[in-house]
């Protein structure tokens, strides 16, 4: 009997030896620091390299965490690596960041953070006492945040191939019924509220790096925001957007929301709470506080009818005592963030390209 099987040739493998990005990554054939800055270059890397390679509808939503359903449970799932330099800084450490960063990503979907994984990449030669001190800080931060570290991993790389300690955490949380918080839900009319002073973490880390000192001790705002979000959700489950403005600062967070929802954001610049110490340090360094990283702050888009009650609930919480309305969501200039300046003019708050401060978290 003749063989009637049709041979289907396998699809040709992509020619990676001669690979070039289909859309030029601003003509960067090599990775530069800005690709880790949380701005336009980071977004390009995700959009042009990672998303096409990984595929999948969930990743395409590109939030800080993924919302998914497994075994009937609505879960949030998120990950972050931490490469901050130095490992200890005023007000915190890489251990605190590793917990609070991932816990906050989960909380920004309205989830109640529950479990963390923790993976160390240690550089040969790092002092065991330093490892223990970081682990202790991480454990204490987890207990404060009400999450449990349940699984982990340790790798060691040769001296000269790391920077003491790199950390990764991933986290899982449970999203309560009726909660649907994501950037795409920002809607004209929403009131934009920030939970307190901005720019503090970035300036605190910068103040101890490279020998910079600003005369005033500035401590990182690093904190877990799960409790604050719970207090807000107790007012109404119908919060539209929550975002913790870490790398790229408030400016990047507002831009991402404006683009994702196809709305405009109008910020009253005078209403944005910037402590004098941060403003002064930024003036010296030539930085804009709008783009400096925060690690214990959130920005919320709240339906106008709930805004007053949500603001009151935030101010009643220790981590929201200095919460303030900073602007509103508008139908004009979709995809753009515009600030009304103290003098009554307006300026565009762009998505930052690379980063102002590398290795801030």
By CB under 8 A, what part of segment 150-179 binds its own copies? 150-158, 160-163, 166, 168, 170, 172, 174
Taking CB under 8 A as the rule, does residue 142 contact its own copies? yes
Taking CB under 8 A as the rule, does residue 68 contact its own copies? yes
Supply φ then ψ for residue 50, to 5 degrees: -75, -50
Judged by CB under 8 A, which stretch of 120-128, 258-266, 281-289, 317-325 contacts its own copies?
Answer: 120-128
For the beta sheet containing 165-174, the strands, ordered from the edge strand earlier in sequence to the opposite edge, are 66-70, 73-82, 165-174, 112-123, 148-157
Closer residue to its own copies (CB): 182 or 306: 182
Contacts of 72 (CB under 8 A, 6+ apart): none
Judged by CB under 8 A, which stretch of 122-130, 207-215, 218-226, 319-327 contacts its own copies?
Answer: 122-130
Taking CB under 8 A as the rule, does residue 123 contact its own copies? yes
Among 23, 86, 136, 308, binds its own copies (CB under 8 A): 136
* Angstrom distances, CA of residue 354 to CA of 30, 41, 163, 262: 14, 6, 22, 23
Taking CB under 8 A as the rule, does residue 20 contact its own copies? yes
State the DSSP code for 290: G
Taking CB under 8 A as the rule, does residue 49 contact its own copies? yes
> Is residue 204 within 8 Å of residue 91, measured between CB atoms?
yes
Helix (H, G, I), strand (E, B) or coil at 354: coil
Judged by CB under 8 A, which stretch of 12-20, 190-198, 236-244, 323-331 contacts its own copies?
Answer: 12-20
Give the number of residues in contact with its own copies, rule: CB under 8 A: 91
Tokens for 357, please give them.
């401060």
* Angstrom distances, CA of residue 156 to CA of 73, 81, 215: 36, 16, 38
Longest Cα–Cα distance of the chain, Å, equals 90
Closer residue to its own copies (CB): 46 or 285: 46
Q: Which of residues 274-303 bind its own copies (CB under 8 A)?
A: none
């Amino acid at each position: 009997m003749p063989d009637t099987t049709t041979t289907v040739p396998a699809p040709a493998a992509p020619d990676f030896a001669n690979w070039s990005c289909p859309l030029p990554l601003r003509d960067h054939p090599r990775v530069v620091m800005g690709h880790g800055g949380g701005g336009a270059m980071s977004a390009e890397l995700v959009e042009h390299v990672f998303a096409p390679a990984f595929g999948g509808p969930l990743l395409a939503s590109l939030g800080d965490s993924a919302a998914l359903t497994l075994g009937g449970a609505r879960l949030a799932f998120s990950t972050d690596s931490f490469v901050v330099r130095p490992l200890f800084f005023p007000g915190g450490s890489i251990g605190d960041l590793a917990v609070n960063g991932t816990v906050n990503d989960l909380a920004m979907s309205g989830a109640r953070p529950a479990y963390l994984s923790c993976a160390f990449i240690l550089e040969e030669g790092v002092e065991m006492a330093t490892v223990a001190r970081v682990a202790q800080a991480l454990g204490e931060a987890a207990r404060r945040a009400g999450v449990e570290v349940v699984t982990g991993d340790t790798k060691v790389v040769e001296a000269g191939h790391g920077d003491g300690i790199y950390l990764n955490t991933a986290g899982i949380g449970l999203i309560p019924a009726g909660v649907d918080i994501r950037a795409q839900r920002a809607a004209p009319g929403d009131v934009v509220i920030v939970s307190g002073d901005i720019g503090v973490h970035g300036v605190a880390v910068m103040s101890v790096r490279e020998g910079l000192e600003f005369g005033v001790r500035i401590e990182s705002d690093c904190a877990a925001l799960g409790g604050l979000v719970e207090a807000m959700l107790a007012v109404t489950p119908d919060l539209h957007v929550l975002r913790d403005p870490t790398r790229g600062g408030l400016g990047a967070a507002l831009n991402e929301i404006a683009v994702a929802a196809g709305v405009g954001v109008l910020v009253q610049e005078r209403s944005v709470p910037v402590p004098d110490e941060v403003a002064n340090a930024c003036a010296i360094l030539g930085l804009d506080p709008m783009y400096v990283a925060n690690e214990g702050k959130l920005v919320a888009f709240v339906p106008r009818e709930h805004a007053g009650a949500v603001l009151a609930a935030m101010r009643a919480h220790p981590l929201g005592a200095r919460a303030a309305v900073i602007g509103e969501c508008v139908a004009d200039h979709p995809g753009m963030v515009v600030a009304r300046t103290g003098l009554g003019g307006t300026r565009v708050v762009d998505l930052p390209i690379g980063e102002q401060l590398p290795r801030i978290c």
